[in-house]
């Protein structure tokens, strides 16, 4: 399988006023493959968003090497961004525009030819089951519907790498299932998917590969089976294996990060 993301020893330091530089990422290495969903887990402040910003060339690492879809985001960011779609944590839709207008605007902005736009927009709306609400303003949508619209925007661009920051934060079970199904389809179509989540169930359900980071560095990396085998004393008798929830607490501890 092709490597979509290859990070080796990446460190990101932020300068804080009157303080020593703060390491948001510390010698972090990570690989993600095409055709797989890679789930990135980590406590608040562990560096997940910083990592996404590094992958999209928004934040320049202090040191380390990185390749995303075979290119260095520091060198050719605009070419890379034509092949990578990011669904950020905050809702990124225009509330005054309808769902269809949101997608058309996005397609136009990213250079989808006019002749193709209508078909692509309609296809994306159908994918996330918003076709019946296509001509309603996005501002009237529920949180879950807005997340689905943001996902449609990304999927419409047929990216080789799809990055999602907490894709199902605060959405109901129905929207969650719809979003999960589209994420799985994207990986099955041979694309790489990297997503961050704080929901163990989501990682357990979707992740072909789970990477847990803490204090800016990788503390566990493998399949759910690899990771659950790491916990020495499963706390439950039934089922016999530790859950991903147990693994997460085992490798990151119980302290708050604030």
Ligand X SMILES: Nc1ncnc2c1ncn2[C@@H]1O[C@H](COP(=O)(O)OP(=O)(O)OP(=O)(O)O)[C@@H](O)[C@H]1O
Closer residue to ligand X, CB minimum distance, 34 or 206 = 206
Closer residue to ligand X, CB minimum distance, 48 or 106 = 48
Binding-site ranges for ligand X (CB under 6 A) = 14, 16, 22, 24, 42, 44-50
Cα 125 from Cα 117, distance rounded (Å): 12
Closer residue to ligand X, CB minimum distance, 46 or 252 = 46
- Cβ(105)–Cβ(97) below 8 Å: yes
Closer residue to ligand X, CB minimum distance, 19 or 233 = 19
Please state the closest distance from residue 11 (CB atom) to ligand X, in A: 12
Reduced to 3 states, what is the DSSP secondary structure of residue 163? strand
Cα 126 from Cα 149, distance rounded (Å): 11
Please state the closest distance from residue 185 (CB atom) to ligand X, in A: 26
Closer residue to ligand X, CB minimum distance, 22 or 110 = 22
Cα 192 from Cα 188, distance rounded (Å): 9
Closer residue to ligand X, CB minimum distance, 56 or 102 = 56
Cα 9 from Cα 57, distance rounded (Å): 16
Please state the closest distance from residue 191 (CB atom) to ligand X, in A: 23
Cα 77 from Cα 110, distance rounded (Å): 14
Please state the closest distance from residue 122 (CB atom) to ligand X, in A: 34
Using alpha carbons, select from 165, 15, 23, 144 the residue that is nearest to residue 88.
165
C-alpha distances (whole Å) from 257 to each of 26, 46, 116, 200, 221 are 16, 8, 47, 18, 21
- Give me the residue label for tokens 């708050």: 256
Please state the closest distance from residue 193 (CB atom) to ligand X, in A: 18
Please state the closest distance from residue 174 (CB atom) to ligand X, in A: 25
Which tokens in the block code for residue 198? 């704080």
Closer residue to ligand X, CB minimum distance, 114 or 254 = 254
- Cβ(192)–Cβ(160) below 8 Å: yes
Please state the closest distance from residue 211 (CB atom) to ligand X, in A: 12
- Cβ(42)–Cβ(166) below 8 Å: no
Cα 137 from Cα 229, distance rounded (Å): 48
């Amino acid at each position: 399988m092709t490597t979509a993301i290859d990070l080796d020893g990446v460190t990101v330091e932020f300068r804080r006023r009157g303080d020593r530089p703060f390491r948001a990422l510390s010698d972090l290495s990570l690989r993600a493959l095409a055709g797989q969903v890679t789930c990135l887990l980590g406590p608040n402040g562990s560096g997940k968003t910083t990592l996404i910003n590094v992958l999209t060339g928004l934040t320049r690492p202090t040191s380390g090497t990185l390749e995303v879809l075979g290119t260095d985001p520091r060198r050719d960011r605009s070419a890379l961004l034509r092949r990578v779609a990011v669904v950020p944590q905050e809702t990124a839709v225009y509330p005054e525009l309808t769902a269809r207008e949101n997608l058309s605007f996005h397609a136009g902005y990213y250079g989808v030819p006019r002749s193709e736009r209508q078909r692509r927009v309609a296809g994306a709306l159908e994918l996330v089951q918003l076709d019946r609400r296509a001509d309603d303003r996005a501002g009237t949508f529920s949180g879950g519907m807005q997340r689905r619209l943001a996902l449609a925007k990304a999927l419409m661009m047929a990216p080789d790498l799809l990055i999602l920051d907490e894709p199902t934060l605060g959405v109901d079970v129905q929207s969650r299932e719809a979003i999960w199904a589209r994420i799985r389809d994207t990986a099955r179509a041979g694309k790489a998917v990297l997503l961050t989540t704080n929901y163990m169930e989501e990682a357990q359900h979707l992740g072909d590969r789970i990477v847990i980071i803490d204090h800016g560095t990788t503390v566990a990396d493998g399949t759910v089976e690899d990771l659950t085998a790491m916990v020495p004393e499963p706390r439950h008798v039934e089922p016999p294996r530790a859950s991903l929830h147990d693994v997460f607490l085992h490798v990151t501890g119980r302290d708050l990060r604030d």
